[in-house]
Structure 1
Amino acid sequence: MHDAIKGHSQPGGGTETDSPADLERPDDVGASPAHFGSDVIARTLRSLDIPYIALNPGSSYRGLHDSIVNYLGNTAPQMLLCLHEEHAVAIAHGYAKVTGKPMLAAVHSNVGLMHATMAVFNAWCDRVPLVLLGATGPIDAAKRRPFIDWLHTAKDQGLLVRHYTKWDDQPASVAAAQESLLRATWISQTEPQGPVYINLDSEIQESVLQSDPGEPDPRRFMPATVPGLNESDVSEAAKLLRNAKRPVILMGRVSRKDRDWLNRRALVDTLDARVVTHKKVGSVYPTDHETHAGAPSTFLEAESKQAIREADVILSLYWPDLAGTVKVACGRVDPDKKIISISTDHYIHNAWSMDHQAHPAVDLFMPGDPDRLVERLLEIYEVPKRGEVMDEMPAPVQRPESGDPDHLTMAELAACVREKTIARKPTLLHVPTSWNSADWHFRHPMDYIGSDGGGGIGGGPGIAVGAALALLDSDRLPLALVGDGDFLMGATALWTAVHYRIPLLMVIANNQSFYNDEVHQAKIAKARQRPVQNKWIGQRMTDPEIALCKIAEAQGALGLGPARSWDQLADLLDTGLAHVDAGGVAVIDARVIPGYTKSVEDGMAGQIAFVPERR
């Protein structure tokens, strides 16, 4: 059934609804004292003021599951059932990208955690807060059920994700679990933000309380921790920037607040600076402003390279890859120019993951909040306070020339989607690797929330659902553009959106290939003087063609397409938008010509090893 906007009967007395909060209401639940360990844990979760917990159910946390339903009444937090553990974590990830606050997710035992690991890594690389709950069979071996409890019990379960979480714990009592949840939620939100993992012993959950440990006030256990700025460093930075003739600001992981956006605009105007932004981190500055150098990209555009190469002073505002960016632009990581950097990222670098990137050369480093530095610089320069009203009008749409009559170019896809959604204030929740940021300009901090973090295919749909959930009460249109491979690996995340009435428009840029690897195979073939025309083998998803619309329909969404031309896509967008306006989920299959921008192809393929001469 395509009509996801119509409520359906729920087991236990549910009726037709329009909101997640009205769904899955338990029967015969009234106020009662806590009787079990999991009741106290559930009550502590409620005190954290986190509205949702995304989960795939499992017996290892059946005690907590019961307490959330029959003790809390399935509210605050409300369960969001997911069809895969990776989706549960991805939904929490997307929610945090919009709100800046952690959401809860829960996964079953060691097996569920193993399913979830890629999504945890995405959240870690994206530096977003997330509280992941897990569980294990009884630690006391004498209390384990034969066979299954042994399979689902690990000696050190947190080890599975320890290298890419900020903190993990396995509390040994109900009181310790309370403290662990408070500490985990706090740590996840301290800069740099990231996921945390709590493993709950099933015996603790199901134990009968001998006494109630009470209910602590979370506000007293979560103090602010952003390092204060050293005023002498701020003064030195202000002097270097004021005296610069060609300053460049690399705007990285900064806030989505309107005030901070306006402050960044004011600083650029004051310094007469150029700006470079990153495709991974979202909308942080108007990308079609005359001061913006090149389009946002994971791999630098030519204009961005030139601006950095010509700069005499670079200000890095928590840029995700300062050393790599400077090296690509200037040919070395320590060029003859002054570099100022503010970040807290160094606090969580470890020996396992290389997501911290190369070590940058800097002349002035400040651990702290980049937006607070911008604010202080404006005070030093005595720049009048900017108003709190955002006056950024959407960028106009220009229709590109048509290409292949049977396939859309990515530029056509972007322009058509933009033209149809421009009046609805779309928020881009995800974009595919083939996306050219020059085709869609951002003029507001909520125009684009950034990418998946770790580059794990399959995260896009779940992140989009979580972000759409966070946008439920806003005036923004949740819009996700995903690749076909990403969709196929994460499609069942859509069921959660349909079931919980989370409106979402998803457009699949379907080139019927894992084209990323076609680029790599072409590069290797050229370097080895072998046939480039064979690059498609082991990459193309044809014969048979995959019916992406039917996969969407199987989750209860409205599946539309395939669209092969501007007019076809425009018509399907009208239908899809009407469905989303009414509260549904619509998915459009848009057939596109495979291809990347030159900077993406060059950056993606990278260096090729030495090729010996042919004999």
Structure 2
Amino acid sequence: MNDMTLSGIDVPVASSDNGIWGSDVVAQMLRALDIPYLALNPGSSFRGLHDSLVNHLGNQQPQMLLCLHEEHAVAVAHGYAKVTGKPMGVVLHSNVGLMHGVMAVYNAWCDRVPMLILGATGPVDAAERRPWIDWLHTAKDQGALIRPYVKWDDQPASVAAAIDSLIRATNLARSAPQAPTYVCLDVSMQEKRLDEMPPLPDPKRFAAASPSVPAAAEVGEAANLLRQAKAPLILFGRMSRSERDWARRVALAEQLGASVLTDIKTAAVFPTDHRLHAAKPSFFLDAQAVDAIRAADLILAFDWIDLGGSLRQAGASPSTRVISISLDHHLHNGWSMDHQSLAPADLHLAADPDAAMHLIADALGVDPGMEPAVQPALPALACDGEQPLDVVSLAAAMGEALQDEVVTLVRLPLGWATESWHFRHPLDYLGIDGGAGIGSGPGMLIGAALALKGSGRLPVAVLGDGDTMMAASAFWTAAHYKLPFVAIVSNNRSFFNDEIHQERVARQRQRPVENKWIGQRIDEPDIDIAAIARAQGLVGIGPIRTVNDLRQAVGEAVKAAKAGSSVLIDARVAPGYNPAMTAGLTRHAGETPKD
């Protein structure tokens, strides 16, 4: 991972010292808080801060990343946090920019990633507002737009208050459970002239909270339950990208002889080709995962997304003991249902999942384990080269072409064949966007590529065509800042998820399933997605229709990415999902999955 500036891009001319302004203090504080980048789409409500970033700080630490839409700016910060576990900054223009960004903010909230969002408003003092436009861009309580899905928000009225707000917001974003925070800056405060630069507090004197750990007695109780279990099962959910933590998870499972399940909705946390990994990671439980849950006499869940729903779906025995380790309840509120189904827990450790994992491992005498090697990709499928592409053959062809590369899979689509690729390192796969908000993929790929730049890893994303087209203008940012990656668009020319739902409704009502495509298909006219990518400075390849052609296209894309280019391949696939995914999308609550 690499936090260096994007040197040589958007370098300002030197500026003379012409006084100190409120926004200069804000900019200096952002630097002191180690915020490396600020993704933004320009706006007059933060023109003062914009000037300070350029002419006071020289566009370094933090460096601005120009985006063409506020939703992309938030998604870029989201992707960056998925790799680093650290917040970068976003600036959203007034109420209108915030409204553009809210979907991406909700995604970041549901995904529990850290992010510092700076907003701005027209003058709070009505006497200072310009006619018309400042009134439109001023809200009495701007934070109310996103308060249910940020961890904390504030609108400081002075420079001194802004300093405190920035420190608090950054530390809260970094502290578990992580989530976005929001600070709205009054334009008048930004543009206030000061006599001198006030002394800035040392952020080290305001350290972020250390990870929460359970009491020793609770750790001992958990260890005793695990010792007594005959058939333990570990559910590894939202956990860190640390190689040390990964090694200890594997060692813990091996000492217990516990079966393990992981979730494709979260990043890689355990080697999927390990003998204890009981089922392929999936969006919904498949038959093997259900069997593993039903066979367990003790379930140890580390911040598992929708633990209650998973246990109900699998029909877990009421006699199965459950240990749940999570801090997520601290973020649950009455507005959003992202907290999922109420989960049973015979023992609930309110603790950081990795910190608690190490304490339990210590109590059981588990050794540190062996940290994972950084290895080339490990595809698990092969296919005939002449066949047309579908979701399975796309994964196989892509895997064959990338098998000698060290790859980070940034995003995978709903239809991904989860058995097609193994994860053996915490950066092999980064998970989904949290809130299932379409249009997040391109921006998150850009943010991950920013974080991985110079790491030796090749960022690769498989994006849906609908997701890509909702956010196609995000790719300009990648080309401008020279962020290498390979994006493969799994282009079925449809919002196929909803075709499945319409087919199910038609069958229930005994109506023609042949009509399921109407209002779903993205065709007539066809969209040349590769041309859209080229128009923004990317290397655009395609359309590609066969396995052999995709193998060749991916090979070309890798060469171009290694030379510094952002690359997009338009891969035309037949509509379809893997069977477990199709079943999960249309299953009634409480039903168990069927192959």
**TM-score bin (small chain):** over 0.9
Partner residue, 2:276? 291
Deviation, 1:402, is 6.2
Matches within 5 A, 1:15-164: 20-29=6-15, 32=17, 35-164=20-149
SS in structure 2 at match of 1:335: coil
Equivalent residue of 2:103, what SS?
helix
1:431 to 2:417 alignment: no
Which runs of no fewer than 5 residues in structure 2 stay unpaired?
591-595
Work out whether 1:341 is the aligned partner of 2:327: no
Please point out which of 258, 261, 271 is paired with 2:256.
Answer: 271
Contact 2:172/2:208, CA 8 A, preserved across alignment: no
Listed as ranges, the matches of 1:389-428 within 5 Å are 390=373, 394-395=377-378, 397-401=380-384, 405=387, 407-428=388-409
**1:586 maps to which residue?**
567
Q: Is the 8 A contact 1:21 1:78 kept in 2?
A: no
Whether the aligned pair in 2 keeps the contact of 1:19 and 1:500 (CA below 8 Å) is no
Task: Indicate which of 510, 529, 535 corresponds to 1:529.
Answer: 510
Look up the match of 1:385: 368
Choose from 556, 581, 586 the match for 1:605.
586
Deviation larger for 570-579 or 317-326: 570-579
**Cα pair 1:92 1:463 within 8 Å, conserved:** yes
Match of 2:299 in 1: 314
User: Which residue matches 1:361?
Assistant: 344
Count of residue pairs the alignment pairs up: 587
Distance change in 2, residues 1:101/1:33 (3 Å): farther
Contact 2:465/2:489 (CA < 8 Å) preserved in 1? yes
Cα deviation per residue 1:456-495 (whole Å; 9 max; x = unaligned)?
Answer: 0000000000000000020110101100000000111111
2 CA distance for matches of 1:469 and 1:145? Answer: 38
Please tell me whether the aligned partners of residues 37 and 63 of structure 2 are also in contact (alpha carbons under 8 angstroms).
yes
Contact 1:60–1:137 (CA<8 Å) still a contact in 2?
yes
Distance 2:261 2:506 in 1: 34
The superposition leaves residues 86-108 of structure 1 with CA deviations (integer Å, 9 ceiling, x where unpaired) of 00000000000000000001011
Deviation at 1:594, TM superposition (A): 1.1
Match for 1:349: what amino acid? H
Distance 1:472 1:600 in 2: 33
Query: Which residue matches 2:445?
Result: 464
Q: Is the 8 A contact 2:5 2:36 kept in 1?
A: no
Letter in 1 for 2:562: D
The sequence identity of aligned pairs, in percent, is 52
Quote the residue 1:440 is aligned against. 421
Closer/same/farther in 2, CA of residues 384 and 574 from structure 1, 3 Å limit: closer
Displacement of 1:21: 2.1
CA contact (8 A) 1:68 1:77 kept: yes
Give secondary structure in 2 for the equivalent of 1:21: coil
Aligned-partner SS, 1:362: coil
- Looking at structure 2, the residues matched to 372 and 163 of structure 1 have their Cα atoms a distance apart, in angstroms, of 28
Q: CA RMSD in A?
A: 1.7
Q: Deviations over 1:349-402 (max 9, x none)?
A: 000000000111110010112222222222222233324463767535441246
Distance in structure 1 (CA, Å) of the matches to 2:376 and 2:528: 38
CA offsets, 1:164-207, max 9 Å, x none? Answer: 00011000000100110000000111111001111100000001
Report whether the alignment pairs 1:242 with 2:227: yes
Give, in whole Å, the separation in 2 of the partners of 1:35 and 1:50: 21
Q: Does structure 2 conserve the Cα–Cα contact (< 8 Å) formed by 1:275 and 1:291?
A: yes
Are 2:353 and 1:370 equivalent residues in the alignment?
Answer: yes
Query: What is the alpha-carbon distance in structure 1 between the residues aligned to residue 580 and residue 418 of structure 2?
Result: 12
Q: 2:189, 2:82 → 1: CA distance?
A: 33
Q: Aligned to 1:131, what secondary structure does the other structure show? A: strand
Instruction: Return the alpha-carbon distance in structure 1 between the equivalents of residues 502 and 374 of structure 2.
Output: 46
Q: Paired residue for 1:254, among 227, 239, 244?
A: 239
CA contact under 8 A between 1:20 and 1:502: conserved in structure 2? no
Distance 1:600 1:294 in 2: 14
Deviations 1:510-567 (A, max 9, x none): 0000000001001111111111111001000111111111111121111111111111
SS at match of 2:193: coil
Partner-residue secondary structure (3-state), 2:497: helix
Matched, 1:170 2:158: no
Q: Which amino acid aligns with 1:241?
A: L
Helix, strand or coil: the match of 1:575? helix
User: 1:581 is matched by which residue type in structure 2?
Assistant: K
| 1:458 counterpart SS class | coil
Q: Take 2:199 and 2:361, find their aligned partners in 1: how far apart are those partners? A: 47
Q: Helix, strand or coil: the match of 2:189?
A: helix
Partner deviation per Cα, 1:133-185 (whole Å, 9 max, x = no partner)? 11010001011000000000001111111010001100000010011000000
Q: Deviations over 1:385-432 (max 9, x none)?
A: 3244637675354412468x4x30212111111111222211001011
Tell me the secondary structure at the aligned position of residue 415 of structure 2: coil
Q: Distance in 1 between matches of 2:495 and 2:111?
A: 23
Alignment of 1:507-522 (within 5 A): 507-522=488-503
Give the conservation status (yes or no) of the 8 Å contact 1:397–1:419: no
Distance in 2 of aligned mates of 1:568 and 1:184: 49
8 Å contact 1:34–1:40 — kept in the other structure?
no
Q: Which runs of 5+ in 1 are unaligned?
A: 1-17, 610-615
> Quick one: which amino acid aligns to residue 169 of structure 2?
A
1:192-234 residue CA offsets vs partner (Å, 9 max, x unmatched): 1001111100000001114533111111112324222211111
Aligned mates of 2:554, 2:579 — CA distance in 1: 29
TM value normalised by structure 1: 0.93
What one-letter code is carried by the residue in structure 2 that aligns with 1:224? A
Give the counterpart letter for 2:178 in structure 1. Q
Distance 1:64 1:393 in 2: 43
Match of 2:181 in 1: 196
1:218 counterpart = 2:203:
yes
Deviations 1:15-40 (A, max 9, x none): xxx9822111111235x486110010
| 2-structure distance, mates of 1:438, 1:170 | 48
SS at match of 1:424: coil
